Structure formats: C-alpha cells, structure tokens
Structure 1
Amino acid sequence: MRSTFHSLEVARRGLVTQQTALQTVGHNIANANTPGYTRQRVNFTQTEPYPPASMNRPQIPGQMGTGVEAGSIQRVRESFLDIQYRSENNKVGYWESRADSLQKMEEIMNEPSETGLSTTLDRFWQAFQDLAVNPTNAGARSVVRQRGLAVAETFSYLSGSITSVQQDIKNEMDVTIKQVNSLTQQINNLNKQIGETEPHGYLPNDLYDERDRLIDELSKIVNIKTTPVNSGEAQRK
C-alpha cells in the first residue's frame, strides 16, 4: 500500500509542478507586448526524500525520491546587460539632445543660403569695394547703406532667435527636472513595496519589472548607477 500511494503522490506532485510551469508560460505569452515585462521561469526542486535524513533507522535500504515541486518563479534577466544598456541609453539621450539643439541652430543660421549671414556680409563688403572704385557715386553710397542695414537686421534676427532657443532649452530643462523627480519618486515607492515584500520570502517579479522599466527610462535622462542592497532596494548615484 505504501508503494502504491507513494507512486501516486509522486505523480501528483509532478502534475501540479508542470501545471505551474504551464501557467507561467501562459503568463509570459500574455505579457509578450507588455512594456518592461521580463520573461519568467519556474525553478524545479526535488522534494525531501523518504525516509528523511534525520531518521537513524530507515526501514528500507537508502532513500526513495518523493518527486518535484515548484521552488520559485524567477525572472530571466541579465543584470550585466542592464548595466550595458543603461550606459548606452544615456549616451543616446545625450546625443539626441545635442543633435536637436544643433538642428535648431542650423535652421537659424540658414547656411549656406542666399539669405544667410555669410552671403549678407559678402554683399556688404562687395558694396564697399564698389564704393572704393567710385566714392562720389550716390548710387554706390546708397547700396552700401542698404547692405549695412541688411547686415544689422541679420545680426538682430540671429540674436533674437538664439535667445529664443536658449529660453526653449531652459524650459525643456525645467520639464526634464520634473520628470527626473517623478521617476525617482516612483522608484523610491517601488523600493519600499519590494522591501516590505521580500522579507516574507516572496519574489515580487512585477515590481522588479516596473522598477527596471523606470530605471531604464531614467538612464536616458541622467547618468545613473544602481547597487542592489539586502533589503531589495536600489541606491542611485
């Protein structure tokens, strides 16, 4: 009788464990398009053999295996790749911001073109050369005056446009600071929830995913470094 019930129990444990694995696979498929989701897997562990190792007089020679159980559900994520990604993500954010600013400056300077500063200055100096050839010519004097006004207007336009770009960048920085503060606050709240959950022996995978997603987003704005600590929180530098 013991042998029959033992075999049934081993089979039952195997089925329950495999069912847990199938449920995890279904969970992975359902979240295939969820932003920040990390694939999960079930870690199988063998159950305690019979008789237990504490018995000093086993009734059978050796020990019999009692099956398998789901030890934990773990995220399949590589921390080294996270570090590499965040480092490169920060560089992408820097160069995208720089390229955007340079593009605005390029549009303002409008070079090379017929209305750019370089062409305006060339026409101004050409008018002076024409005037030097015939200094008494009223028409040449008028052209120099008009070209001088064009140069002044061009400088005035460039100055106003650059000042406007500077103000836009300042406004963007204010928005970015608020975004950084919001992300760090959300990460801090997640750290608190994780710190309250882990001591009970649970792995809050969903909280881990959300925290990693926010850290990835933050890494594009500022240069960060994360260090795991015992409580499950992350110190940001």
Structure 2
Amino acid sequence: MASTFFGLTISYSGLQAASTSLNVTGHNVSNINTKGYSKQQASTEAAQALRTFSTYGMLGAGVKVTGVSQLRDSYYDEKYRNNQANYGEYEAKENYMDQIEDFFDEWNLNGYCKEYQKFFTSVEEVIKAPGEASTKNQLINNAASMAQYFNTLSTNLRKIQEDANNEIKDAVEQINSYAQNIASLNRQINQIEANYGDANDLRDKRNALIDDLAQIVNVSINEEDIGNGLTDFRVSINGQTLVAGYDYNKLYTEARADKRNASDAASLYDVKWESGQNFNLYSPSLGGQMKALVDIRDGCNGEFEQYKVDENGDYILDSDGNKVLESVLRNEQNTDFKGIPYYQSQLNQFISTLSEAVNNVLKSGLTSDGTQQGISLFVTQTNTDTMTALNITVNPELIKDADKLATRSSAATGQAEADIMEQLRKLQSEKIFDGGTGAYFLESMVSDMSIDSSNATNMLDNYNNLRTTIQNQRLSIMGVDTDEEAMDMMKFQQAYNLNSKMMSVMNEIYDKLINGTGL
C-alpha cells in the first residue's frame, strides 16, 4: 500500500522531469548558432508503478527521466561527408585553375599573340632590309622578349606547383591534428557513457571534426558496441584506418629524391604512414582537397615527361647538344588530370620544337655579308642543359653582334638576298607542332585549360548546392528551431506550474490531516 505522503513524491518527480526538460530546452536555445550542434531532448517514461494489492491493482508512481538524447541521423551525416569530399576537391581545383587561367588569359590576350606575332613581324622586317643592323637587332630583341615571356610563364606555373605541394604538407598536418583530437574524444566519450549516460556535446564535437576532415580527404566511420556502455569508434581515410578507438595513425611527408616529371619543382612531397603502410596518393578512390592538390601538382594527363635515352641508356641530344625531353605513357601511379606537369610539358614541347626549327634554319645559312656560318638564335641559359620554357634564352653572341644572324643561304648571292629569313617566316604556318601550327598548338592548350577551369567551377557550384540541400535535410532533424523551442518552453513551463500546484494541493491536504484533525 502506498504511503499517505506518496502524492508529494509523484508531484516532485513531475517537477524534476519538467525542470530537466526546461534545462535541455535552454541548452538548445543557447546553442542555436553553434556549428555542428545537435538538438537534444529529455526522454521520459512513467515510473515503476506500485503493487497495491487493491481493487485498482497498481498505483502510478509518477515520471522519471531516462536520458537526454541528441537528434541525429547517420544517413544524412554520411551523405553530407561524401559530398564534403567532392566539394573540397573542386573548391581547391577551382582556386588553382583560376590562377592558371589568369596566366593563360594574359598570355592569350596580351602575351602569346603579341610576342609570337612580334617575332615573325620582325622577321619580315629583316627580309625587307637584311643588311641593316637595326632590323636584325629588332628580331633578336623580340626573340629575347618571347623567350623571357615563356620563362616567366613557366616560373609562375612552378610556383603554383610549389604552393600545391606546401598545401599537401599542411593537409597532412591537419589530418594528424584531427586524428589526435578524435582519438582523445573517443576516450572521453567512453569514460562518460560507461558511467553517466550519453556524452552528447562531446559527440557533437567529434562529428564536427569529422565533417571538417571529410573536406580534406574522403572518410568513412564505423562505431561498434563492445559492451558496458563502451563503443569502438573507427575513422578511415581513403579506405585506410586513421583512428581506431583511443589510438590513431600518423601521416608524414617526405621530400622526393627523384623527380616524377622532368620539369617538376625539386623536393616535392610524398605522403607516408608512420607505421610503414603505403599511402597511395594516386588511388582512384582518393577524394577531398588532397585529391585536388595531387591532381594540380602531379596531373600529367597520363604521360610522364622524362629525358630521352638510347638503347644504351645514354641521353639523346639535339643539334645544339641539349638533352631531349619526351612524354611516355605509364599506368602505374598515374594522374589523368591536366595539372601543372601537363602544361609545363606542353610548353616545353612547343619551345623545343620552335627553337629546333628556328636554329636549324639559321645554322644552315650565312650572315648577310656572306663571311660567317649562321649560329643558333635560341640557346639554354647558363648552367642548364635542356631546352625548356624555363631555360630558353637568346644566344648572347647575337645580342653582342647582330650581324652574326644568318640571312641568306649562299655567298654567291647579294647582300639583299634573305632566303633564310623567308624560310624562317614560313615556320609560322608550317604544321610542325603535333600536326598543327604553333598558334593552333598553343590555342589548343589554352582551350584545355579553359575547359578544365570551367568544369571545376561548374562542379563546385553543383556540390555547393548539394551541400546546402543535404545540410538542410540534416538540420530538419538535428537543427534547433526557435519556434519549436518556444513551444517546448511553454509546454514544460506549464508542466512545471501544474506539478507545483499539485504539491500545493497536497500540502493543504496534509496540513488539514496533521494539524486540523482531532481538535
């Protein structure tokens, strides 16, 4: 049989439940703008009834709070993180492709068209007056200006590659930091949930870290119940374990001893696990900013640029004794994206083809006075041995003495003859650049860049829209709504008031029973 004062106990349980619910509502409202916060709610159920052995059987014992849970849907979390990896990839790609596009737009508008045309215009001027030093000086200076332009463009592309390389190192450090924090949170969460219940705020903090990590590299998570309120929480990146419970694996960067592509910047980073396990930067499944940075830094459109060698392994040299570059297909560790190595290789191919053609024409001729054999117009810079966009320069001998520039093919003809210059002019329209003219070759490269840049922008817009949609879906479950919380506040306030009123009523009854009975 219930105690005479059992009504106070019932009312008190109602007060406690209403007070807890109000506190949870206040916590929700205070975190309405907190990133990654999940709405919480107090779960209640009827307290265990008393067996009264009376005609009514059992007597209700009030209410009890069974826990404070967070509202969250793992399905939307997974969708959001998968999209974050795609968003992070194309955000980084758009950033770098915009930089590349800026260089090539300048080239297309004021650089290439201007410098290339100026060079061949100056050739025509020499044809008109092959014996004049001023026209030959103009040609040589325009050639130097064009060479300098390609030097600058190649240097700027290399700087972009170095920036992407440094960002890879930063991304590795961020991944390690996230892994350490997640492993620490795993321990704290288990310590709390093994003894006290749900560690909702710590779980929100861990989920927020995983959301941010997913933008850097594609992630997957798995949480298994191992008993006694404990869970084994694991995080994998690109299919490899990053966090396992309270432990985490660290990544580190190591400078390459050898270049992957001949025109790469020196000491680019490889990424490795400290455990010795291989981390494949070129895995098809890699995602997030890491994939974008690798594509920009190492993207070679499936072809590796390397030095050409003969069957004995000796370097093949051009007519001026420079090492010759070639592009070869490789299936291992490939990146099909057209990144910095691709554009560097295309520029190098253009420069080597142009310089070889121009030099061969000039070396086959004689100076305007017919006394000296022609020499190369384009050479490599001091302490370099490969004709590339980065290394090309004008022969210093011609800068010192423009009369060493070949203009005619035979000493028997007069000084006014300029058939060598005629041959040089024809190079502008000859299809010696992969079956096309120089203009067409470079315009095709600019077109590739524009397409990739536009694709990155379009994909970023698509994934940004998806991110907004999925986030709204997540917030429909986990988000804090002001109207909802206001209604809950009023509801729990009324519950609290009613339970308080019930205690007042019971107090009056007990006062009458104790103090007013028997007088």
2:109 to 91, 108, 113: 113
Q: Deviations over 1:170-210 (max 9, x none)?
A: 11111111111011110011111222222225111111011
Matched-pair contact (CA < 8 Å) for 1:192–1:233: no
Deviation (angstroms), 1:95: 0.8
Deviation (angstroms), 1:229: 1.4
Aligned-partner SS, 1:77: coil
Deviation (angstroms), 1:50: 1.8
Deviation (angstroms), 1:236: 1.3
Aligned-partner SS, 2:218: coil
> Partners in 2 of 1:177 and 1:14 — Cα distance?
52
Deviation (angstroms), 1:127: 3.0
Specify which structure has the higher proportion of strand. 2
> Partners in 2 of 1:12 and 1:193 — Cα distance?
33
Amino acid across the alignment from 2:235: R
Unaligned runs of 5+ in 2: 237-519
Amino acid across the alignment from 1:113: L
- Structure number with greater CO (CA < 8 Å, separation at least 6) is 2
Matched-pair contact (CA < 8 Å) for 2:192–2:198: yes
* Match of residue 157 from structure 1: 152
Indicate yes or no: 2:5 matched with 1:10. no
> Partners in 2 of 1:182 and 1:188 — Cα distance?
10
> Partners in 2 of 1:130 and 1:234 — Cα distance?
75
Superposition map of 1:174-185 within 5 A = 174-185=169-180
Deviation (angstroms), 1:141: 3.0
* Match of residue 209 from structure 1: 204
1:87 to 77, 82, 86: 82
Deviation (angstroms), 1:101: 1.1
> Partners in 1 of 2:43 and 2:120 — Cα distance?
80
* Match of residue 55 from structure 1: none
1:97 to 83, 92, 99: 92
Q: Deviations over 1:6-46 (max 9, x none)?
A: 43332221121011100111111122223322211001111
Specify which structure has the higher proportion of helix. 1
* Match of residue 235 from structure 1: 234
> Partners in 2 of 1:219 and 1:203 — Cα distance?
25
Amino acid across the alignment from 2:75: F
RMSD between aligned alpha carbons?
Answer: 2.2
Indicate yes or no: 2:33 matched with 1:38. no
Matched-pair contact (CA < 8 Å) for 2:2–2:50: no
Matched-pair contact (CA < 8 Å) for 1:21–1:41: yes
Indicate yes or no: 2:68 matched with 1:73. yes
> Partners in 2 of 1:162 and 1:131 — Cα distance?
34
> Partners in 1 of 2:161 and 2:12 — Cα distance?
70
* Match of residue 51 from structure 2: 51
Seq. identity, %: 28
> Partners in 2 of 1:19 and 1:2 — Cα distance?
25
Q: Deviations over 1:107-163 (max 9, x none)?
A: 33324322x224322322333345456655554433322221111101111121122
* Match of residue 141 from structure 2: 146
Indicate yes or no: 2:21 matched with 1:25. no
> Partners in 2 of 1:188 and 1:155 — Cα distance?
50
Amino acid across the alignment from 1:10: I
Residues matched between the structures, number = 231
Q: In 2 relative to 1, CA 111–160 (structure 1 residues): closer, same or farther, beyond 3 Å?
A: closer
Amino acid across the alignment from 1:103: D
- TM-score after normalising by structure 1: 0.87
The higher radius of gyration belongs to 2
Matched-pair contact (CA < 8 Å) for 1:198–1:232: no
Deviation (angstroms), 1:104: 1.9
Aligned-partner SS, 1:101: helix
Amino acid across the alignment from 2:158: T
> Partners in 2 of 1:186 and 1:151 — Cα distance?
53
Aligned-partner SS, 1:43: strand
Deviation (angstroms), 1:215: 0.6
2:191 to 192, 196, 212: 196
Aligned-partner SS, 1:225: strand
Amino acid across the alignment from 1:16: Q
Superposition map of 1:217-232 within 5 A = 217-230=212-225, 231-232=230-231
Amino acid across the alignment from 1:173: I
